[in-house]
Amino acid sequence: MMADLSHTQVLVADDEILVLESTRAVLDRLGYDVIGEAVDGLQAVAMTQELHPDIVLMDIEMPRMDGLEAARRIQDCCPTPIVILTAYDVPDLVRQAARETGIGAYLIKPVSPREVERSIIISRARFQDLMDLRKLNTELEQALATIKTLHGLIPICAWCGRKIQDEHGKWYDIEKYIESHSEASFTHGICPDCYSKMGGGNVKRDGRE
């Protein structure tokens, strides 16, 4: 669930001081809590790890590390919603960056209050969807990793019919082999044919008289 937007903590990263100041002024006016300002990509990554903001507003072109690489590192070490700041209307670049780094939205500088609020809401919603999807994928991978299945040709002893040969040439009882190669476990009963041979008389197919 998203936090109350009036208490959203924001980190702003831009190497242009005037942009930092104007962006902070817009965020302050909207009631957001600006908890940090970074002037390059490396500092943005470090401050995100230290301050754990609810969202990062980050310029693309910055010294030492650009905004896209900083976004990748942030998503690797401390996943956080990110809005990219750019001086150019480049939707194709932003779509590509979003696919690669999980960026949720972008803003064209200078930012306007209406677009800032809209982009923050969109970015946080998309980020939550991405986190839910990643969690689902992780759960599916864990489930698949625990599933063992039998497949292909299984060599079984033609004489006794009670032994199976594994891929290393070792023979096992059928029960042990199946239990070790699948999620099945064994319980025992008596089939109708065997029950009759033991003198049990006529039985129904489920083994009961």
Per-residue pLDDT tens for 160-200? 777 888 778 888 887 787 777 776 666 666 677 766 766 65
33 has a pLDDT exceeding 90: yes
- Identify each DSSP E strand in 45-187 by its residue range: 55-59, 82-86, 105-108, 163-165, 171-173
- pLDDT above 90 as % of the chain: 34
CB 195 within 8 A of CB 188: no
The better pLDDT of the pair 135, 38 is held by 38
- Measured in degrees and rounded to the nearest 5, phi and psi for residue 132 equal -65, -40
Task: Give the model confidence (pLDDT) of 125-161 as tens digits.
Answer: 888 888 888 888 887 777 666 555 556 667 888 787 7
Rounded CA-CA distance 164/173 in Å is 6
Q: Domains of the chain (ranges plus CATH)?
A: 5-144 (3.40.50.2300), 148-209 (no CATH)
* pLDDT score for 205: 46
* pLDDT score for 14: 95
The better pLDDT of the pair 22, 130 is held by 22
Nearest residue to 52 (alpha-carbon basis) of 28, 36, 30: 36
CB 148 within 8 A of CB 154: no
Q: Report residue 37's pLDDT band, with 50, 70 and 90 as the boundaries.
A: very high
Q: Say which residues have a Cβ less than 8 Å from residue 116's Cβ, sequence separation at least 6.
A: 23, 26, 27, 30, 57, 107
* pLDDT score for 128: 87
Rounded CA-CA distance 175/157 in Å is 14
Q: pTM for the whole thing?
A: 0.64
92 has a pLDDT exceeding 80: no
Q: Report residue 94's pLDDT band, with 50, 70 and 90 as the boundaries.
A: low
In the predicted model, what is the mean pLDDT of the chain? 81
